[in-house]
C-alpha cells in the first residue's frame, strides 16, 4: 500500500506539539481551483452528507481517516484503539490531536452525544508521534501489545485482514479528509484560522494558505513573504486551511517510489517496481490515467442512476405524504357521515353507533399506520442524498491517485444504493367506510359498511368472437355480494397461443396499454368489445364496482376473434321470385302472381318453393365466421353451407325439371342431408331458440344468426347472436369444398 512524502518540518511553536499535521490540498493547480470553489460553498450542501463524514466508530467527523480493505473509512485514532483495546499493556503515548486538530462533532452528532460521558474509544491511549507527517503508524517495540489478527470493521461488522504492516499499510483517505476540512471550515463560518506571520497580537485572520510554505497568511503578510519577482511569488496557494496534503503518493512496499500505475486485481495504485515482483506479480495493471477515466466514468454513470432514484424517492415521499393528508381528511369526513347516519336512525341504530365508530377508527388507524410506515421508509431512503453529495465532492478531485483510492470503494456503495428497493406504493383506499342507509328497517340490526362487490365469474360458454367484435359475458353476482353500480371490462391484444376462437384461462397481468370500458348496465351481464382485429387473440377480465370501490378482477380469459367470411351472393339460376341487391349482400323473395288455368279461370293455389342462392367463395380449410340477418316477416329462411358439387347439380336439376312441388323441406330438394348443414328461421323465430326471449334491440329486428365453420374438422355451429348461445351443431365431410347457402321460401328478406 502507498505511503506519502513528508512535508518540510515546521518550526513554529504552535506546530511543534502536533503529532501529525492533517493533510489536504494537491500539487496541481486544477485541484487548487477546485479547493477555492469548494471552500466558499454553502454549508447546506454538506448537511445532507453529514452521515458520510462521520466515523462509524466514534460518530464524530473523520480525523485522519484510513481506508480499510473493505473500502470503509475509520479514524486513525479509532483504528488504533480498536486494534489494541483488548491488550492491558498498551503503552501510554502522547496526544494524537493538537488544539487545532481536535475532533469536531457534527451538529447532529453533538445533539446525540452527552459531552460529559466519554466514549470507549476516547479513553484509549493514542499512538506515538512520528517525524513523517504523512506516515501514520502504531506503537512498536518490545512492550507493544500484539495487534488483533483480524480487524473488525465497525461499519460492515466484517473482519478484515490488515496484512503484516497492520494499520501502517492502510491508505490515508485524503479526499475524505479534505471534504471534512471544508465542512469544518463552513461550520466555523470561514474565519477561524489565524495568520502565522503577523507580528501583532492577536493575529489577523488568514485569507490564504501557501502549499509550498506550509503556512497561512493574511493579505498583507502574504504580499510581504511572496515578493513579486522572487521564487516565492510562484508558490501555489489555496483558501485558508489548517491541513496539508503531501505532494506525492509513495508506494508502501517501495517507500521511495511514487505510485505510477493501478493494480486491477488489488484495486490500488502501485509503483513500477511492484509490477516486477512481490505481491503484485502476474497481476493486471492499467496506466493511472486509464484507470482514472474508467472508474470516473463508472462512478458518474452510477451517480446518474442514483440521482434518478433519488427523484423517484422524493416523488414517492410526496405521494405518501399527500395520501396521508387525504386519509386524515377522509377520516374526518367518514366519522361525520357515520355520526349523522346513526343519529337519523334513532333508537334502532343506537346500539350500532359505537360499533361502527370503533370499526372506522380501526380502519383509519390501520391506514395511517401503513402510510406512516411507508413515509418512514421513504425518509430512510432519503439517506442516499448524503451519499450523492459525497460522491459529487469526490468527483471534484483531479488527482488521479487520490481519486482512485477513494472512488473504488464508492463504486460499490453507489451500486448497493442503486439496488435498494423503492418504497412500496400503497393504495390508501383500504376498507370502505361508506354507509348505505337505504336498506329496510328490519335490516338495520345487520348494518355495516358497504363493501366492494365480490369477484366476477366469466360466463365462458356464452361467448362468441367474430370479426372485430367480442361479446364478453359473465354470471350475475351472488346474493351475498354487495350490489354493483358499474362494471369495468379490460381488454388487450396478446400473442396467439393456437387453437380456434375458444376461451382459455390466463394468469398474466394486464399491460399498461390495456383498454378499459365502463358499463353501467349491470343487469344484462354482457359487454360488447368492438373495433378489434380479426383473427387475433385478446385477453380480458371483468370487475364490479360500487361507491365502496372496485372489487377484485375476474380470472383472465383469452379468446380469438374469427375473421368474417366476405362473399357476394350469386344469381346463377333463373328464379323469378328472388331479387339480389346490386351489392350482392341481400336477397329478397316475393310471391309470384297467380297463374291462369287453360279455361281462363284463376288458380288460387299459391305455389311456394324454396329457392337457394350460394356465395361466391369456396371454403376448403380453416375457420370462418359470418352473420346473417333474417327479416322479422320472412316466412321461412334456410341458412348454412352446402357441398359445392352436390348443390350445383341439384339446383340445375330442379330448375330444369320445374316440378312445382309444394314443399318447404330442404331435404326434399337435396335428397341427401349430408351434403348440407343448415338451420331454419320461421316467421322470425330461430330453430332451437325460446320464443319468450325478447331481442335487446327491439321486436322489429328479426333474427340474427352466426355461422361458424371449421372446415378442417368438418364442424358447423350456429349461434343466436342475441343470446350468444349455440343453437345447433352439424357435421359435414371434411375436405369437401363448401359454399355459403341461403334459401327463402315465401316472402322474406335476408342480408348479411
pLDDT (tens digit per residue) in 721-741: 777 678 888 888 877 889 888
Looking at residue 15, its pLDDT comes to 35
Q: Which residues pair with 458 in a beta bridge?
A: 474
Looking at residue 32, its pLDDT comes to 38
Which pTM value belongs to this model? 0.35
Q: Following DSSP, what letter does each residue of 94-143 receive, concatenated?
A: --S--TTT-----HHHHHHS-TTS--TTTTSPPPPP-S-SS------STT
* Greater pLDDT, 14 or 310: 310
Average pLDDT of every residue of the chain = 73
Looking at residue 692, its pLDDT comes to 52
Looking at residue 453, its pLDDT comes to 92
pLDDT digits (tens, 9 = 90+) for 689-726: 765 555 444 444 568 888 888 888 888 988 887 776 78
pLDDT digits (tens, 9 = 90+) for 94-146: 333 333 333 444 444 444 444 333 343 433 333 333 333 334 444 444 444 55
Looking at residue 226, its pLDDT comes to 92
* Greater pLDDT, 455 or 573: 455
Lowest-confidence pick of 26-40, 425-439, 537-551: 26-40
Please answer whether residues 493 and 536 qualify as being in contact, where contact means their C-beta atoms are separated by less than 8 angstroms: yes
Confidence of residue 584 (pLDDT cuts 50, 70, 90): low
Looking at residue 222, its pLDDT comes to 92
Confidence of residue 425 (pLDDT cuts 50, 70, 90): low
Confidence of residue 462 (pLDDT cuts 50, 70, 90): low
* Greater pLDDT, 462 or 200: 200
Q: How far is CA 549 from CA 175, 334, 453, in A?
A: 56, 15, 8
The mean pLDDT value for 314-336 works out to: 91
pLDDT digits (tens, 9 = 90+) for 248-294: 788 888 888 888 899 998 888 989 888 888 788 889 999 999 999 99
Task: Match 335490516 to its residue by C-alpha cell.
Answer: 443
Looking at residue 312, its pLDDT comes to 92
Which own/partner contact pairs does 725-732 have at CB distance under 8 Å and 24+ positions apart?
725/462, 726/464, 727/679, 727/686, 727/687, 727/688, 727/689, 728/679, 728/687, 728/688, 730/640, 730/677, 730/678, 731/677, 732/641, 732/643, 732/674, 732/676, 732/677
> What is the separation of C-alpha 5 from the centre of its chain, rounded to a whole number of angstroms?
51
pLDDT greater than 80 at residue 438: no
The mean pLDDT value for 388-396 works out to: 86
Confidence of residue 433 (pLDDT cuts 50, 70, 90): confident
- DSSP structural state of residue 50: G
Looking at residue 70, its pLDDT comes to 87
Lowest-confidence pick of 139-148, 265-274, 352-361, 410-419: 139-148
* Greater pLDDT, 624 or 37: 624
Please answer whether residues 601 and 722 qualify as being in contact, where contact means their C-beta atoms are separated by less than 8 angstroms: no
pLDDT digits (tens, 9 = 90+) for 517-545: 888 888 888 888 888 877 777 888 999 99
* Greater pLDDT, 297 or 449: 297
Amino acid at each position: 500500500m502507498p505511503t506519502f512524502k513528508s512535508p518540510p518540518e515546521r518550526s513554529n511553536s504552535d506546530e511543534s506539539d502536533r503529532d501529525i499535521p492533517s493533510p489536504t490540498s494537491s500539487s496541481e493547480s486544477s485541484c487548487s481551483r477546485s479547493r477555492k470553489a469548494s471552500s466558499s460553498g454553502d454549508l447546506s450542501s454538506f448537511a445532507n452528507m453529514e452521515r458520510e463524514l462521520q466515523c462509524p466508530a466514534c460518530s464524530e467527523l473523520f480525523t485522519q481517516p484510513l481506508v480499510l480493505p473493505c473500502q470503509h473509512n475509520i479514524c486513525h485514532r479509532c483504528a488504533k484503539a480498536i486494534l489494541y483495546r483488548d491488550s492491558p499493556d498498551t503503552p501510554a503515548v502522547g496526544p494524537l490531536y493538537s488544539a487545532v486538530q481536535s475532533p469536531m462533532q457534527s451538529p447532529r452528532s453533538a445533539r446525540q452525544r452527552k459531552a460529559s460521558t466519554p466514549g470507549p474509544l476516547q479513553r484509549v491511549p493514542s499512538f506515538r508521534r512520528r517525524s513523517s507527517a504523512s506516515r501514520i503508524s502504531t506503537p512498536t517495540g518490545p512492550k507493544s501489545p500484539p495487534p488483533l489478527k483480524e480487524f473488525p470493521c465497525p461499519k460492515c461488522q466484517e473482519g478484515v485482514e490488515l496484512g503484516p504492516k497492520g494499520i501502517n499499510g492502510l491508505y490515508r483517505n485524503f479526499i475524505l479528509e479534505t471534504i471534512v476540512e471544508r465542512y469544518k471550515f463552513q461550520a466555523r463560518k470561514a474565519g477561524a484560522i489565524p495568520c502565522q506571520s503577523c507580528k501583532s497580537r492577536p493575529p489577523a485572520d488568514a485569507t490564504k494558505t501557501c502549499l509550498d510554505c506550509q503556512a497561512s497568511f493574511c493579505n498583507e503578510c502574504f504580499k510581504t513573504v511572496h515578493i513579486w519577482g522572487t521564487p516565492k511569488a510562484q508558490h501555489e496557494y489555496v483558501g485558508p486551511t489548517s491541513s496539508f496534503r503531501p505532494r506525492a503518493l509513495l508506494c508502501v512496499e517501495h517507500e521511495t517510489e511514487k505510485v505510477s500505475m493501478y493494480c486491477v486485481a488489488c484495486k490500488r495504485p502501485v509503483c513500477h517496481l511492484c509490477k516486477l515482483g512481490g505481491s503484485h506479480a502476474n497481476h493486471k495493471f492499467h496506466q493511472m490515467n486509464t484507470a482514472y477515466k474508467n472508474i470516473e466514468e463508472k462512478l458518474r454513470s452510477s451517480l446518474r442512476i442514483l440521482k434518478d432514484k433519488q427523484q423517484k424517492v422524493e416523488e414517492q415521499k410526496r405521494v405518501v405524504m399527500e395520501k396521508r393528508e387525504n386519509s386524515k381528511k377522509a377520516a374526518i369526513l367518514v366519522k361525520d357521515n357515520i355520526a349523522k347516519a346513526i343519529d337519523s336512525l334513532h333508537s334502532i341504530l343506537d346500539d350500532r353507533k359505537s360499533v361502527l365508530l370503533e370499526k372506522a377508527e380501526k380502519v383509519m388507524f390501520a391506514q395511517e399506520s401503513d402510510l406512516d410506515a411507508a413515509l418512514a421508509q421513504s425518509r430512510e431512503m432519503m439517506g442516499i442524498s448524503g451519499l450523492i453529495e459525497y460522491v459529487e465532492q469526490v468527483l471534484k478531485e483531479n488527482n488521479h491517485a487520490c481519486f482512485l483510492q477513494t472512488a473504488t470503494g464508492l463504486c460499490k456503495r453507489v451500486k448497493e444504493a442503486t439496488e435498494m428497493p423503492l418504497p412500496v406504493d400503497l393504495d390508501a383506499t383500504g376498507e370502505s367506510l361508506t354507509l348505505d342507509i337505504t336498506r329496510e328497517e328490519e335490516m338495520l340490526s345487520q348494518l355495516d359498511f358497504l363493501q366492494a362487490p365480490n369477484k366476477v365469474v366469466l360466463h365462458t360458454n356464452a361467448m362468441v368472437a367474430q370479426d372485430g367484435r367480442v361479446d364478453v359475458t359473465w354470471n350475475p353476482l351472488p346474493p351475498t355480494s354487495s350490489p354493483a353500480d358499474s362494471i369495468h371490462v379490460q381488454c388487450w391484444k396478446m400473442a396467439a397461443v393456437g387453437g380456434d376462437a375458444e376461451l382459455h384461462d390466463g394468469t398474466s397481468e394486464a399491460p399498461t396499454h390495456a383498454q378499459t370500458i365502463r358499463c353501467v348496465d349491470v343487469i344484462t351481464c354482457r359487454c360488447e368489445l368492438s373495433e378489434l382485429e380479426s383473427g387475433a387473440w385478446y385477453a380480458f377480465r371483468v370487475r364490479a364496482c360500487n361507491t365502496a370501490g372496485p372489487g377484485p378482477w375476474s380470472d383472465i380469459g383469452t379468446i380469438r376473434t374469427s375473421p368474417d367470411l366476405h362473399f357476394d351472393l350469386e344469381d346463377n339460376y333463373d328464379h323469378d321470385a328472388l331479387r339480389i341487391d346490386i351489392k350482392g349482400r341481400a336477397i329478397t323473395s316475393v310471391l309470384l302472381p297467380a297463374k291462369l288455368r287453360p279455361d281462363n279461370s284463376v288458380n288460387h293455389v299459391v305455389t311456394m318453393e324454396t329457392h337457394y342462392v350460394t356465395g361466391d367463395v369456396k371454403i376448403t380449410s380453416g375457420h370462418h365466421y359470418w352473420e346473417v340477418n333474417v327479416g322479422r316477416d320472412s316466412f321461412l329462411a334456410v341458412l348454412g353451407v352446402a357441398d359445392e358439387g352436390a348443390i350445383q347439380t341439384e339446383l340445375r336439376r330442379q330448375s330444369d325439371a320445374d316440378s312445382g312441388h309444394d314443399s318447404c323441406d330442404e331435404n326434399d330438394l337435396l335428397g341427401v342431408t349430408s351434403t348440407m348443414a343448415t338451420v331454419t328461421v320461421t316467421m322470425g323465430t330461430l330453430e332451437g331458440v325460446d320464443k319468450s326471449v325478447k331481442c335487446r334491440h327491439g321486436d322489429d329486428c328479426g333474427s340474427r344468426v352466426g355461422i361458424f365453420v371449421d372446415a378442417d374438422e368438418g364442424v358447423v355451429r350456429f349461434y343466436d347472436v342475441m343470446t350468444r348461445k349455440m343453437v345447433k351443431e352439424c357435421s359435414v365431410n371434411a375436405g369437401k369444398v363448401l359454399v355459403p347457402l341461403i334459401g327463402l321460401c315465401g316472402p322474406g328478406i335476408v342480408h348479411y
